[in-house]
Amino acid sequence: MPTFELNLSDDVYAEFQQLADSEFVSEEQAAEDLIASGIEAYNVSVVDDDPRDEMLDGAENNMFDTAQDPGSLEDDRL
Protein backbone atom coordinates (compact mmCIF):
# COMPACT_ATOMS: atom_id res chain seq x y z
CA MET A 1 0.00 0.00 0.00
CA PRO A 2 1.42 3.42 -0.90
CA THR A 3 2.20 5.83 1.91
CA PHE A 4 2.65 9.58 1.96
CA GLU A 5 3.43 12.33 4.43
CA LEU A 6 1.09 15.24 5.02
CA ASN A 7 1.70 18.43 6.99
CA LEU A 8 -1.40 19.78 8.76
CA SER A 9 -1.90 22.80 10.95
CA ASP A 10 -2.31 22.05 14.66
CA ASP A 11 -6.00 22.99 14.53
CA VAL A 12 -6.78 20.71 11.59
CA TYR A 13 -4.82 17.85 13.11
CA ALA A 14 -6.69 18.24 16.43
CA GLU A 15 -10.02 18.11 14.57
CA PHE A 16 -8.83 15.06 12.64
CA GLN A 17 -7.76 13.28 15.85
CA GLN A 18 -11.08 14.03 17.52
CA LEU A 19 -13.01 12.74 14.50
CA ALA A 20 -10.80 9.68 14.20
CA ASP A 21 -11.26 8.84 17.89
CA SER A 22 -15.03 9.21 17.84
CA GLU A 23 -15.95 7.81 14.41
CA PHE A 24 -13.21 5.41 13.26
CA VAL A 25 -11.28 2.41 14.53
CA SER A 26 -7.88 3.98 13.80
CA GLU A 27 -6.30 7.13 12.39
CA GLU A 28 -5.27 5.13 9.32
CA GLN A 29 -8.86 4.13 8.59
CA ALA A 30 -10.02 7.70 9.22
CA ALA A 31 -7.42 9.12 6.83
CA GLU A 32 -8.24 6.58 4.12
CA ASP A 33 -12.01 7.06 4.38
CA LEU A 34 -11.86 10.86 4.59
CA ILE A 35 -9.47 11.14 1.65
CA ALA A 36 -11.59 8.74 -0.42
CA SER A 37 -14.73 10.76 0.44
CA GLY A 38 -13.00 14.00 -0.51
CA ILE A 39 -11.82 12.59 -3.82
CA GLU A 40 -15.32 11.29 -4.58
CA ALA A 41 -16.86 14.67 -3.74
CA TYR A 42 -14.24 16.51 -5.80
CA ASN A 43 -14.67 14.38 -8.92
CA VAL A 44 -17.90 15.66 -10.39
CA SER A 45 -18.58 15.15 -14.05
CA VAL A 46 -19.56 18.13 -16.15
CA VAL A 47 -22.89 17.53 -17.86
CA ASP A 48 -22.78 20.66 -19.96
CA ASP A 49 -19.91 21.82 -22.18
CA ASP A 50 -21.00 25.45 -21.76
CA PRO A 51 -19.38 26.86 -18.59
CA ARG A 52 -22.02 29.60 -18.17
CA ASP A 53 -24.91 28.74 -15.94
CA GLU A 54 -28.39 29.63 -17.22
CA MET A 55 -29.44 30.87 -13.80
CA LEU A 56 -26.44 33.19 -13.69
CA ASP A 57 -27.36 34.56 -17.11
CA GLY A 58 -30.87 35.28 -15.87
CA ALA A 59 -29.57 36.96 -12.73
CA GLU A 60 -27.25 39.20 -14.74
CA ASN A 61 -30.16 40.27 -16.98
CA ASN A 62 -32.47 40.91 -14.03
CA MET A 63 -29.87 42.99 -12.22
CA PHE A 64 -30.36 45.83 -14.67
CA ASP A 65 -34.16 45.54 -14.64
CA THR A 66 -34.38 46.21 -10.90
CA ALA A 67 -31.96 49.15 -10.91
CA GLN A 68 -34.38 51.63 -12.50
CA ASP A 69 -35.81 53.19 -9.32
CA PRO A 70 -35.67 50.82 -6.35
CA GLY A 71 -36.32 53.61 -3.81
CA SER A 72 -39.20 55.34 -5.52
CA LEU A 73 -41.11 57.78 -3.31
CA GLU A 74 -44.34 56.66 -5.00
CA ASP A 75 -43.93 53.18 -3.47
CA ASP A 76 -43.50 54.55 0.09
CA ARG A 77 -47.01 56.02 0.47
CA LEU A 78 -49.05 54.61 3.34
**Does position 55 have pLDDT exceeding 90, yes or no?**
no
How many CB atoms lie under 10 A from the CB of residue 31?
15
Give per-residue pLDDT as tens, 1-48. Answer: 788 898 999 999 999 999 999 999 999 999 999 999 988 888 766 565
To the nearest 10 degrees (0 to 180), the angle between helices 27-42 and 10-23 is 110
pLDDT of residue 29: 93
Cα Rg of the chain (Å, integer): 25
pTM for the structure as a whole = 0.50
User: What separation in angstroms does the CA of 37 have from each of 49, 55, 57?
Assistant: 26, 29, 32
pLDDT of residue 22: 93
**Does position 73 have pLDDT exceeding 70, yes or no?**
no
pLDDT of residue 41: 86
